[in-house]
């Protein structure tokens, strides 16, 4: 069974084609700068035991439909393609950022699902419209393929009211669904299951904290395998310090900026989402550059790293209290998987919680590929794992599972 996974942004289409019988990616790529004068499509055909065949096309991509058609042509290409007919693609799994309260699991896309995604646009104005565009375009190009929506927010729908409600007038929740939703759900769910597999224990028997560190960053507390709390809130702005997002701040700060600095709402929105975080403190949102600057003796880079890790460490302590006991701590995402210094700083001084990193094991990241590695000291209670995330594969797996459930119901 072949499944195509699509992640549509406002000016991009990220995709992977999977052979689900082997759980292997056949092709992957990115169409970017859609609608601009300098479009670019990078396509990779994955070849066994080789680096793969890469095709880069630099030309204008007028809209998402034209972009997806170019992608299809490459998937069918005699040299760079992985299929001979579009009909080989059984289903298309779409990443949808916000499913609100309606979706606790993936859903086969019909009019009702599309209507629900549209209703959640006020909760994710930058993402849901683009996700809908990808769905509509894919339906016209792949009319015979099953279309499935996989929601970033679904994994966090097990969070109890005491964790998802804000201390605001309750009618704001009743009328406008103002609450914590959480994001990066596909990543948290994927690495949690991988961690359970590695430990040879059922996920339902484990308490763990999953830490997804990329340009966007979030943490989740899992009690008996189900999400009990998460750092991101109604939007992806809340919680940890990120590449360009500030994370937790005093809610009164925007009023100060508006009243005393005469900043508009748009300017404040751009400030906290695009110009804050690591970038705001030391001038770059690339963690590799931050570490290089810190090693070169730049004081603000050192401060940025201290703030970044302090916030994570503080949430580890908070989530330990929420869970009451902890079996496993998981690092994932581009930073979580590659930055050994960040992992070490986040866990420093937590030995009384049973959390202690082995310095030598922590250096073994190297070229781990898709392998999970264990980096805790052997004499400590809490397993500390580095688990490579694969959100696209998770979407494909959930799409396949939904197809199987549907087939069983129909027989």
* pLDDT, tens only, 348-365: 999 999 999 999 999 975
Identify whether residues 21 and 138 lie together within a single domain: yes
- Could you report the per-residue pLDDT of 22-37, keeping only the tens digit for each? 999 999 999 999 999 8
pLDDT tens per residue, range 248-270: 999 999 999 999 999 999 999 99
Q: Which domain holds residue 378?
A: 200-391
Q: What is the pLDDT of residue 370?
A: 74
Number of domains, the chain: 2
Q: Are residues 129 and 208 in the same domain?
A: no
The yes-or-no verdict on residue 366 having pLDDT over 50 is no
Q: Is the same domain home to 212 and 140? A: no
- Residue in the block written with tokens 């990120």: 242
CA distance readout (Å), 250 to 239, 278, 317: 12, 18, 20
Helices 299-323 and 287-295: crossing angle in degrees, nearest 10, is 120
What's the pLDDT tens digit per position in 388-397?
999 999 999 9
Point out the domain boundary residue: 113, 134, 151. 151
- Rounded Cα gap, residues 153 and 99, in angstroms: 6
Would you call 248 a catalytic residue per the annotation? no
Q: Are residues 124 and 224 in the same domain?
A: no
Strand partners, 218: 212
Average pLDDT over residues 274-302: 97
Residue of 152, 269, 286, 367 marked active site: 152
């Amino acid at each position: 069974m072949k499944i195509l996974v699509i992640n549509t942004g406002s000016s991009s289409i990220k995709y992977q084609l999977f052979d689900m019988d082997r759980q292997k990616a056949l092709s992957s790529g990115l169409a970017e700068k859609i609608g601009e004068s300098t479009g670019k499509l990078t396509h990779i055909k994955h070849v066994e035991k080789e680096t793969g065949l890469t095709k880069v096309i630099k030309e204008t991509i007028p809209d998402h439909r034209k972009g997806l058609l170019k992608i299809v042509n490459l998937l069918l290409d005699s040299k760079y393609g992985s299929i001979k007919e579009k009909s080989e693609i059984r289903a298309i799994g779409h990443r949808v950022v916000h499913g609100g309260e309606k979706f606790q699991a993936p859903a086969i896309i019909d009019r009702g699902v599309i209507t629900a995604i549209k209703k959640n646009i006020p909760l994710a104005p930058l993402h849901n419209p683009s996700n809908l565009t990808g769905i509509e375009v894919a339906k016209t190009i792949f009319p015979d393929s099953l279309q499935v929506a996989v929601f970033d927010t679904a994994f966090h729908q097990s969070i109890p009211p005491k964790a998802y409600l804000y201390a605001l007038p309750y009618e704001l929740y009743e009328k406008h669904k103002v609450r914590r939703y959480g994001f990066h759900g596909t990543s948290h769910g994927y690495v949690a299951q991988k961690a359970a597999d590695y430990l040879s224990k059922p996920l339902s028997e484990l308490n763990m904290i999953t830490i997804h560190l990329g340009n966007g960053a979030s943490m989740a507390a899992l009690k008996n395998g189900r999400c009990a709390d998460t750092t991101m809130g109604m939007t992806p702005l809340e919680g940890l310090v990120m590449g360009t997002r500030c994370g937790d701040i005093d809610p009164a700060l925007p009023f100060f900026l508006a009243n005393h600095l005469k900043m508009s709402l748009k300017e404040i929105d751009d400030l906290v989402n695009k110009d804050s975080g690591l970038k705001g403190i030391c001038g770059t949102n690339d963690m590799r550059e931050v570490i290089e600057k810190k090693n070169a003796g730049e004081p603000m880079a050192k401060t940025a790293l201290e703030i970044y890790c302090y916030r994570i460490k503080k949430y580890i302590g908070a989530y330990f209290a929420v869970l009451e006991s902890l079996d496993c701590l998981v690092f994932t995402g581009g930073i979580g998987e590659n930055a050994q210094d960040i992992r070490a700083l986040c866990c420093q001084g937590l030995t009384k919680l049973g959390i202690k990193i082995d310095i030598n094991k922590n250096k073994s990241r190297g070229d781990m590929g898709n392998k999970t590695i264990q980096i805790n000291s052997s004499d400590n209670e809490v397993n500390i794992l580095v688990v490579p995330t694969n959100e696209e594969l998770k979407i494909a797996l959930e799409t396949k599972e939904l197809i199987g459930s549907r087939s069983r119901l129909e027989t």
